[in-house]
């Protein structure tokens, strides 16, 4: 009984191996994983056979529908223009198809970096520290603007607060202190609008 099972499973295995190597009318489906995709608009193309595949935001894996044969050339690329505000890169996406490489294509997407900052008015004292969560920036007397040291990804939320007030002044925030960053930097600059304006006023010494 045991032997029968063993034999039949060996036979099955042989069959599977043979079909994997020799048999070849399209037994492989190119597949892989996707990380970091928070946006729509990603379309993958297998340039080997022209197959295209639309990927949804947040989708963790993908499988091309059109099968390819062993030793067929495949080359998975991101169809232009790609998702707006993100950049996706493919690794392990090309070669002659076999069971080892066909299912292991990796797509890594990163939302494009955006700068976050603000305008500063009437800051005559040192000590002002701005925070966006754990990201902080010290703003010195006389500064007319500030930019947080870390960029944030396109589409990220942010929340700007005054962590420390300057020594002899009190500052207030106006503008969009809490929001979502879009397709451009929110800083003082040509063609950009800062997220917030910090206005500082003298306070009488106590």
Q: Where are the alpha helices (DSSP H) in the chain?
A: 2-18
Letters for 137-166 (x = contact with another protein by CB under 8 A, - = none) are ---------------xx--xxxxxxxx---
Task: Tell me how far, at minimum, the Cβ of 159 lies from another protein, in Å.
Answer: 3
Using the minimum distance from each CB to another protein, give the nearer residue, 105 or 160. Answer: 160
Task: Report how far residue 99's alpha carbon sits from residue 101's, in angstroms, rounded to the nearest whole number.
Answer: 6
Using the minimum distance from each CB to another protein, give the nearer residue, 102 or 152. Answer: 152
Binding of another protein at residue 183 (CB under 8 A)? no
Give the count of beta carbons closer than 10 Å to the beta carbon of residue 180: 11
Using the minimum distance from each CB to another protein, give the nearer residue, 48 or 118. Answer: 118
Number of residues that bind another protein (CB under 8 A): 19
Task: Report how far residue 159's alpha carbon sits from residue 178's, in angstroms, rounded to the nearest whole number.
Answer: 4
Q: Which two tokens stand for residue 190?
A: 């040509």
Judged by CB under 8 A, the residue of 46, 125, 132, 169 near another protein is 132
Of 32, 67, 62, 23, the C-alpha closest to 48 is: 67
Task: Tell me how far, at minimum, the Cβ of 165 lies from another protein, in Å.
Answer: 11
Which H or E run contains 160? strand 157-164
Using the contact rule CB under 8 A, the part of the chain among 5-13, 51-59, 66-74, 134-142 near another protein is 134-142
Judged by CB under 8 A, the residue of 57, 77, 90, 177 near another protein is 177
Cα distances (angstroms) measured from residue 48 to each of 31, 68, 94, 97, 139: 14, 9, 9, 10, 54
Q: Which residues make up the interface to another protein (CB under 8 A)?
A: 116, 131-136, 152-153, 156-163, 177-178
């Amino acid at each position: 009984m045991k032997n029968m099972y063993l034999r039949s499973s060996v036979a099955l295995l042989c069959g599977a191996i043979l079909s994997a190597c020799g048999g070849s009318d399209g037994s492989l489906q190119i597949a892989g994983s996707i990380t970091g995709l928070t946006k729509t608009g990603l379309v993958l193309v297998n340039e080997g056979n022209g197959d295209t595949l639309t990927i949804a935001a947040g989708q963790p894996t993908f499988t091309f529908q059109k099968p390819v044969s062993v030793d067929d050339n495949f080359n998975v690329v991101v169809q232009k223009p790609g998702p707006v505000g993100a950049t996706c890169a493919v690794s392990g996406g090309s070669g002659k198809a076999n069971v080892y490489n066909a299912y292991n294509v990796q797509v890594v997407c990163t939302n494009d970096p955006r700068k976050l900052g603000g305008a500063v008015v009437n800051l005559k004292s040192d000590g002002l520290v701005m925070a966006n969560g754990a990201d902080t920036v010290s703003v010195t007397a006389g500064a007319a603007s500030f930019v947080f040291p870390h960029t944030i990804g396109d589409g990220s939320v942010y929340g700007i607060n005054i962590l420390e007030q300057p020594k002899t002044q009190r500052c207030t925030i106006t503008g969009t202190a809490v929001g979502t960053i879009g397709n451009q930097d929110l800083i003082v600059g040509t063609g950009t609008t800062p997220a917030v304006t910090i206005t500082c006023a003298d306070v009488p010494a106590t």
